[in-house]
Amino acid sequence: MSLLRLIAKDSWLLRLLANHISYFSFAIPISIIFLISKRSTYKRWPQPIRRIIQLLIRIFISNTFSSSLSDVNNRDEISSPTRINSTTSNFTRHRFFKLIFSVFGLQISYLLWGLLQERIMTRTYDGEKFTNSQFLVFANRFLAMIVAYISFKIFYPMKKVVSAGPPLYKYGIISYANCMSTWFQYESLLYISFPVQVIAKSIKTIPVMIAGKFVSGKTYPLRQYLLMLLMAFGIALFLSGYHANDTIKLSLKKATQNITTINGLILLIFYLIFDAFTSNYQKHIFDHYSISFLNMMFFVNFISIILTSTSLVLNGTLLECLLFMQRHRSFLIHAFATSICSSIGQLFIFSTIEEFGPVIFTIIMTVRQAFSILLSCIFYGHYLSWYSILGMHIAFLAIFIHVFAQFKRKVEINIKRQRCIWIKQKITKLIMPSSSMNKNETNEQKQSLLKNDDKQNKTDIGANIILIGAPGSGKGTQSARLVERYQICQISTGDLLRQATQDKTSLEGEKIRRVMETGGLVDDETVMSLIDKSINKPECRNGFLFDGFPRTIYQGEQLEQLLESRQKRLDAVLEYAIEDDHLKRRILGRLIHKSSGRTYHEEFNPPKQPMKDDITGEKLERRSDDTNETLSARLTTYHKQTKPLIDFYRQRNIHRSIDATQSVNDVSKQSIEIVDYLRKQTTYKPSTSAIRQTETDDTLTIKSKSIINQRDVDTSHLSNNFLFIYNAVISVLRDRGII
């Protein structure tokens, strides 16, 4: 390795090879761990190893359990948190001052960063030259990670940095591309001067257009071709009249002889490639995960530190860099200042893009590049002839016109899009009922349509609904929509039971807590006691939606008697059918708003802000019983005790099964249509199969056995439970048509 390091001093290609050998030494064992965790399931390992596998899966492939839930027709519901669009939001005085602050922050940070970068890479320290670009990348990333962590704790004091987001290997992809981009940028300064580097970085529009024309067959308007020619002409003028400071050659014998040669151009091309990939992949992560820019900044820099430090240690250059820093205190100051400017600049980059959009950010950075050339020439004595200055103005004028044209075009597109949405809402409001919502509408539009429909027809308010489905079948999401549609209250026995467990002084709460921790179901008497206390609330005057209740035929009979005493009945029983294997991949990412019962999913129905309720802004929680062990127990209990309830309601012809693997919008549409139809029926209409079964029954004994069995009732209560006997007789008489 020392021989490779010695040879690498004279070749950027060998330095690149040495770095990648170190990267592979880190990446290969990580890849092996990734493959092990990806192919592992919890049940194949004993308990100590299982916990390690769980941790690895969360770290490396935390999104694979729910990845199969993504629906290409429902992408609008899995996007990142809502961002402010610079082209559509009102430009208030507050935002104007924020823009001014962002402009000055970006300009000062990166103008100083450019000057210090040129000082370190193109000048000597007491006759000694520093050429290790990897160490500078390491120093920048280390300080940037600290700044990101401190900023996260300041702006999000109640959150954890590791709370949510993509698996770490996706951050690793960004880290690698970012490290390579920065490394190529530093290395290019060994072969070309800083002003040439800046002007070359500003013309990446030209190769993009050429590749698009000849590779992808794209067509561009005449205006863009003229701007490209104008840009090329300005750059040619600049290069023909530009001369770097000859004093550099006194300290850099070989490197400065190769200035503006093919080596510098190759390094710049690689820089542009990795830089473009980094920004595009970051956008991909922001679009698919609910994370803040500080999450991104922290984890990207954290993994970059691992990569660069591994390279420095294995190549044996870390000690050399530290000794160089010890010998030259001015280098220490410059390196530290460069890292500070880079870290603060990253904060301004992410916040500016998030607040004002990428177009305004590009305009700001284009102006910064022009100032960078000017300051470099002033501080380091580069010579610019009058036609070189003219060429620089022409080139940046063409760049600015190009960016401004893009900005104007996006403004026009957004105005047209908003106008189309407004017209679509008006048309839908006039001619379409709320139950036929379009798949492609946004959540806000659908909620608006539901509210408008309710205002137009007050008779649509009110319904008594039961939702049946295994854990993770989507009952929570659908219940929130049905509650909003019919303006009814939601009664979830799961929430009632969890609230009861929080009462540390109650024997009933302690009993419920012990049962839930083992994955069992709480007995019927306890559940009915909680239901009876909740059903008389004022918010339930228009009707009820029961989520997770009843679970047995006995509970169903008791609920019917409770509603009959209030001269009410059930309107619909909706079963959301889904396979167990599908459920096990869906369940891990659920989040819940405790007080309202609204549910979210980290990946496919995320809140607008991470771990916060969209309406109240209160903190979301995970269900304590959403673990792999309790899930298996809950599914077993569900199939054993709850499934017979489906036959019970099917006989009353108010049960309907809905495929829960459909998109959320399709399930909602079908649910509303079913409820609207069934609640218009004045009486129960038994299904054909139920009538046929009644006709073949000769005695009450046979019928009562088909309704009640030992699996559904605690037999220790049969001898003294008059209500049970009464409900059984009433059910048989009703099915016979006698009452």
**For 68-96, how does the pLDDT look when each residue is reduced to its tens digit (9 = 90+)?**
323 333 333 333 333 334 343 444 567 77
Average pLDDT on 8-32 reads: 75
For 610, phi and psi rounded to 5 degrees? Answer: -55, 130
* 610-657 residue pLDDT tens: 888 888 888 888 777 677 777 777 777 777 767 778 888 887 888 888
User: Cis bond leading into 167, ω under 30°?
Assistant: no
Average pLDDT on 685-700 reads: 42
Report the SS3 class of residue 203: coil
Q: Answer yes or no: are the C-beta atoms of 668 and 478 closer than 8 Å.
A: yes
* 290-316 residue pLDDT tens: 677 778 888 888 888 988 888 888 888
Same domain membership, residue 466 and residue 383: no
Residue 616 lies in a domain: yes
Q: Rounded distance, CA 679 to CA 683, Å?
A: 9
pLDDT at 157: 66
- One-letter-per-residue 3-state SS of 560-588: HHHHHCCCCCCCEEEEEECCHHHHHHHHH
Residue 36 lies in a domain: no
Same domain membership, residue 699 and residue 681: no
Average pLDDT on 106-114 reads: 87
H or E stretch at 63:
none
Same domain membership, residue 644 and residue 724: no
Of 709, 570, 733, nearest in space to 650 by CA: 570
Q: Where are the beta strands (DSSP E) in 126-280?
A: 242-243
pLDDT at 531 over 50: yes
Provide the residue range defining the domain that includes 719. 689-739
Same domain membership, residue 656 and residue 718: no
Q: Answer yes or no: are the C-beta atoms of 698 and 656 closer than 8 Å.
A: no
Quick one: CA dihedral 483, 489, 494, 499, positive or negative? positive
Residue 80 lies in a domain: no
Q: Rounded distance, CA 739 to CA 728, Å?
A: 13
Q: Rounded distance, CA 349 to CA 122, Å?
A: 26
Structure tokens, 564: 């009959």
Q: Rounded distance, CA 228 to CA 219, Å?
A: 14
pLDDT at 704 over 50: no
pLDDT at 119: 85
> Is the model's pTM score more than 0.85?
no
pLDDT at 88: 39
pLDDT at 666 over 80: yes
Report the SS3 class of residue 464: strand
Residue 46 lies in a domain: no
Structure tokens, 243: 């001369």
Same domain membership, residue 311 and residue 265: yes
pLDDT at 588: 67
Quick one: CA dihedral 290, 296, 298, 304, positive or negative? positive
User: Residue ranges of the alpha helices (H) in 357-431?
Assistant: 358-380, 386-431
Residue 333 lies in a domain: yes
Q: Count CB-CB contacts under 10 A for residue 415.
A: 12
The residue written with tokens 């006709």 in the block is 695
Strand duo 572-577 + 655-659: pairing: parallel
Q: Rounded distance, CA 8 to CA 308, Å?
A: 16
Q: Rounded distance, CA 99 to CA 353, Å?
A: 11
H or E stretch at 547:
strand 543-547
Fill in the amino acid letter for 2: S
Same domain membership, residue 677 and residue 587: yes
Same domain membership, residue 597 and residue 485: yes
Structure tokens, 604: 């496919």
Fill in the amino acid letter for 50: R
pLDDT at 474: 79
Instruction: Give the total number of structural domains in the chain.
Output: 3
- What percent of the chain is predicted at pLDDT more than 70? 63
Same domain membership, residue 571 and residue 702: no
Of 663, 685, 707, which marks where a domain is finished? 685
Same domain membership, residue 396 and residue 531: no
pLDDT at 36: 65
CA neighbours within 13 Å on the CB side: how many for 599?
Answer: 26
pLDDT at 74: 34
For 244, phi and psi rounded to 5 degrees? Answer: -75, 160
Q: Rounded distance, CA 666 to CA 705, Å?
A: 38
* 366-390 residue pLDDT tens: 677 777 777 887 887 777 777 777 8
pLDDT at 454: 45
Residue 201: alpha-carbon gap to chain centroid: 31
pLDDT at 92: 58
Higher-pLDDT residue of 309 and 12 is: 309
* 251-264 residue pLDDT tens: 444 444 444 467 77
Average pLDDT on 419-444 reads: 50
pLDDT at 731: 52
Q: At 650, which CATH number?
A: 3.40.50.300
The residue written with tokens 């993504």 in the block is 70
Residue 421 lies in a domain: no
H or E stretch at 659:
strand 655-659
Partner residues linked to 489 by β-bridges:
544
Same domain membership, residue 402 and residue 475: no
Q: Rounded distance, CA 105 to CA 101, Å?
A: 6
Residue 336: alpha-carbon gap to chain centroid: 34
Q: Would you give the DSSP letter of residue 621?
A: B
For 137, phi and psi rounded to 5 degrees? Answer: -65, -45
Same domain membership, residue 671 and residue 705: no
The residue written with tokens 């050339």 in the block is 373
Cα distances (Å, whole numbers) of residue 476 to 33, 80, 382, 545, 610: 35, 21, 67, 11, 19
Residue 144 lies in a domain: yes
Q: Rounded distance, CA 116 to CA 138, Å?
A: 16
pLDDT at 359: 60
Report the SS3 class of residue 683: coil
pLDDT at 391 over 50: yes
Please identify every residue annotated as catalytic: 475, 551, 590, 623, 634
Strand duo 383-384 + 242-243: pairing: antiparallel
Confidence of residue 696 (pLDDT cuts 50, 70, 90): very low
Of 640, 667, 685, which marks where a domain is finished? 685
Higher-pLDDT residue of 154 and 438 is: 154
Fill in the amino acid letter for 444: E
Fill in the amino acid letter for 430: L
| Least confident residue range of 404-408, 593-597, 705-709, 717-721 | 705-709
Average pLDDT, the chain: 70
Report the SS3 class of residue 261: coil
Q: Rounded distance, CA 636 to CA 642, Å?
A: 10
Residue 157 lies in a domain: yes
pLDDT at 692: 45
Structure tokens, 224: 């863009």
Of 655, 693, 488, 470, nearest in space to 572 by CA: 655
H or E stretch at 204:
none
Of 525, 532, 581, nearest in space to 552 by CA: 525
Q: Rounded distance, CA 398 to CA 413, Å?
A: 23
Nearest 5 degrees, angle CA 270-CA 273-CA 279?
A: 135
Q: Quick one: angle between helices 12-38 and 168-188, nearest 10?
A: 180
Q: Quick one: angle between helices 318-327 and 293-314, nearest 10?
A: 100
Same domain membership, residue 526 and residue 401: no
Of 645, 666, 685, which marks where a domain is finished? 685
